[in-house]
């Protein structure tokens, strides 16, 4: 189960890295073709998911491909998300974070960190909207792994390094928010 989850998470990250996105958001699963959120360039719907890292909102400027946070992020960041219209997402069954470092003018294809609920099979154990999670000291609720599936005690970002975070909320409709930021 863990290897399949790592593979799926890495695939989602690679899709975001290679530019398979619309306005920085990837709609992984959508049976609503009228929403304009299937990755095509028509429609124009924004994501229902909003993400904050260290209390800084991820925002998108016109012409950007992904969300950005211009403030420097701590080496052990805190993260929170909200869903603007919960009925559009439905029942949340999985929340996954994957992070990649900048490499040679783009993004590494090797995932640096994967964050999932400790009990991935329990929808009620997933990260909850409106709650802040400290990735530098995650506690028992979250499991953090490196790209090889090895469990880590915490996320420690490297000072001065740029990162790409893909924040995936899977439910009846699933969405990914891709965020670029730098660690201080």
For 11-62, give the secondary structure using H, E and C: HHHHHHHCCCCECCEEEEECCCHHHCCCCCCCCCCCCCEEEEECCEECECCC
H/E stretch holding 8 reads helix 2-17
* Position 63 pLDDT exceeds 60: yes
pLDDT digits (tens, 9 = 90+) for 40-54: 222 346 789 999 999
pLDDT digits (tens, 9 = 90+) for 144-162: 999 999 999 999 999 999 9
Between these two residues, 10 and 56, which has the higher pLDDT value?
Answer: 56
Phi/psi of residue 176, each to 5°?
-125, 130
Predicted TM-score (pTM) above 0.85: no
């Amino acid at each position: 189960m863990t290897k399949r989850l790592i593979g799926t998470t890495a695939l989602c990250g690679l899709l975001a890295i290679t530019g398979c996105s619309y306005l920085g958001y990837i709609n992984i699963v959508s049976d609503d073709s009228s929403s304009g959120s299937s990755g095509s360039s028509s429609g124009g719907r924004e994501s229902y998911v909003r993400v904050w890292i260290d209390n800084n909102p991820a925002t998108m400027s016109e012409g950007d491909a992904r969300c950005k946070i211009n403030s420097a992020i701590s080496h052990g960041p805190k993260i929170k998300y909200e869903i603007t219209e919960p009925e559009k997402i439905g029942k949340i069954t999985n929340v996954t974070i994957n992070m990649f470092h900048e490499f040679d003018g783009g993004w590494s294809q090797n995932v640096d960190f994967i964050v999932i609920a400790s009990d991935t099979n329990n929808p009620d154990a997933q990260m909850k909207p409106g709650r802040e999670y400290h990735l530098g000291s995650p506690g028992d609720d979250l499991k953090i792994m490196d790209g090889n599936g090895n469990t880590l005690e915490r996320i420690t970002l490297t000072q001065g390094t740029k990162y790409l975070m893909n924040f995936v909320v899977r439910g009846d409709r699933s969405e990914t928010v891709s965020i670029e930021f730098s660690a201080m």
